[in-house]
Structure 1
Amino acid sequence: MPRKKMCILLMPFFATSHIAPFTDLAFHLVAARPDDVEAAVAVTLANALVVQSALARRGASHLATVKVATYPFPSVDGLPSGVENHSMVKAATDVWRIDVVATDEKLMRPEHESLIREHAPDLIITDIHFWWNTYKIPPASVEMVWLFSGRRAEG
């Protein structure tokens, strides 16, 4: 009888310099134990392309090894629809708008709770910006890892 795979949900901040390393981590976790681990990177719809691009650099055979789970980005005054990542902001003076949304528990927590319920992960790896994921959402049976990630985005 096949055993249940460990389900890992990774939740990065809205910047390529966070999404890419979270995606790389997801890839390596699955690649190390493909029969035992499944991983999903949870991002907003517009950021799904960042995950898919990071996976595509590993070759077509790796695209299916890591899933992409999407959730809606809240409407933000001053940001056009679809602008959901630091690198998408036209005016550098508007980057703060994404930061404010990311750290707003009332806006983000319901979507994160929904994803966590839907995926029922055994482990959540969350970015430091989403602090509520470590303290308020997961049931006691879910392990948590709280990360701050960042690296220079590859061009």
Structure 2
Amino acid sequence: TLTPLAAPVATQLAIGTRRAPHAFALTAIRETFEETGLIVGREAEATGKPPQGWSRYYSEGVMPCLQSFQFIGRAITPPYRPKRFDARFFMADAEDALIDTRPPVDGAELSDLQWVTLADALDLDLPSVTRFMLGEIGERLDRPDAPKGPPFLRWTRNGHTTDRL
């Protein structure tokens, strides 16, 4: 069965949306699998027909595992950008969630995939929002008990705004 999100994570994800909180984490799992071939989940036998778009994932003999997911932040691109997104960023304990030992594989959207340290990732040519969220991850790893809600980056009439959820 699907392992649920921790209650505080579900509460944070529910802010400002009507979508079910677990839908965001499930989307992250499915996108990770589709774009890299990596499986975030637990070994389990699926019962019934897989949800639409999940057949290949479920055929690996796994189920999504949400219990170690942490909500890192949300970002909405500025209205003047040609490509717009309203993204949620997550991290999960690899020992708990990543059961796949295969190396990542290049996909339609990503290439030259490799595991790097957080410090090395920050040295890469990354979009500013990705760099910002990696900084958030670094802070959480350095001070896991520091009370700090996930950042919400967006544009308002007054320009760029960052709030904490």
Question: Which bracket does the TM-score occupy, shorter chain normalised?
Answer: under 0.3
Q: Which has the higher helix share?
A: 1
Give me the TM-score of the superposition, normalised by structure 1: 0.27
Computing the radius of gyration from Cα coordinates, the structure with the larger value is: 2
